[in-house]
């Protein structure tokens, strides 16, 4: 039995993330979460893989919320190039540099997710592979000047202006935007049926 959209909307749910993209994805899937942001240390641990890092952050964000009577969703997303994590740019110059590195290359978007409820939790990692065409200095500069890259891992939004840079994509589109909806919704529905 799959929950009807109205039942999803009424499911008590907290999104443990300040990401407007995660909120939009959950709403598009029929949920109406409240947002509660927890302050956790997001430093990468020594020798930690990108996959372990994003899953650990998602779990930490979900467990930092003290509510017990609701379901909780948390996630984290990073861009990985040649094994290196590309976080959110600290400046326009950094965004320009990162986009220059991604130009004409394949990279990965790695998303960790956690769903907590009914005294248990499920977590996982999803990966997308993305190929960018060669980008000119002018189009990188113009894109960065839109401001869109400044709060995005890897300095771009695939669902925004940078979508035109993509020549090939493999994986869950929602994961590239910010949250792997297929496994997340599946586990939320398990909790709701109990």
Task: Give the residue numbers annotated as catalytic, written as ranges.
Answer: 76
User: pLDDT by residue (tens digit) across 133-179?
Assistant: 999 999 999 999 999 999 999 999 999 999 999 999 999 999 999 99
Average pLDDT for the chain:
93
Q: Is the pTM of this model over 0.85?
A: yes
* Third-level CATH fold of 5-192: Maf protein (3.90.950)
Each domain of the chain, given as residue ranges in start order, spans 5-192
Which residues are CB-neighbours of 190 under 8 A, at least 6 positions away? none
User: pLDDT by residue (tens digit) across 44-56?
Assistant: 999 999 999 999 9
Residue 181 pLDDT exceeds 70? yes
């Amino acid at each position: 039995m799959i929950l009807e959209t109205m039942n999803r909307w009424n499911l008590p749910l907290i999104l443990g993330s300040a990401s407007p993209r995660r909120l939009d994805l959950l709403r598009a899937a029929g949920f109406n979460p409240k947002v509660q942001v927890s302050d956790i240390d997001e430093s990468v641990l020594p020798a930690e893989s990108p996959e372990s890092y994003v899953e650990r952050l998602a779990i930490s964000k979900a467990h930092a919320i003290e509510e017990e009577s609701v379901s909780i969703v948390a996630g984290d997303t990073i861009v990985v190039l040649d094994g290196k994590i590309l976080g959110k740019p600290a400046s326009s110059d950094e965004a320009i540099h990162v986009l220059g590195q991604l130009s004409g290359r394949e990279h990965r978007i790695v998303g960790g997710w956690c769903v907590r409820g009914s005294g248990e939790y499920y977590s996982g990692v999803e990966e997308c592979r993305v190929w960018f065409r060669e980008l000119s200095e002018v189009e990188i500069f113009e894109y960065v000047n839109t401001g869109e890259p400044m709060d995005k891992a890897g300095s771009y939004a695939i669902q925004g202006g940078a979508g035109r840079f993509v020549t090939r994509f493999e994986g869950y589109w929602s994961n590239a935007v910010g949250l792997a909806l297929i496994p997340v919704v599946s586990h939320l529905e398990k909790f709701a049926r109990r």
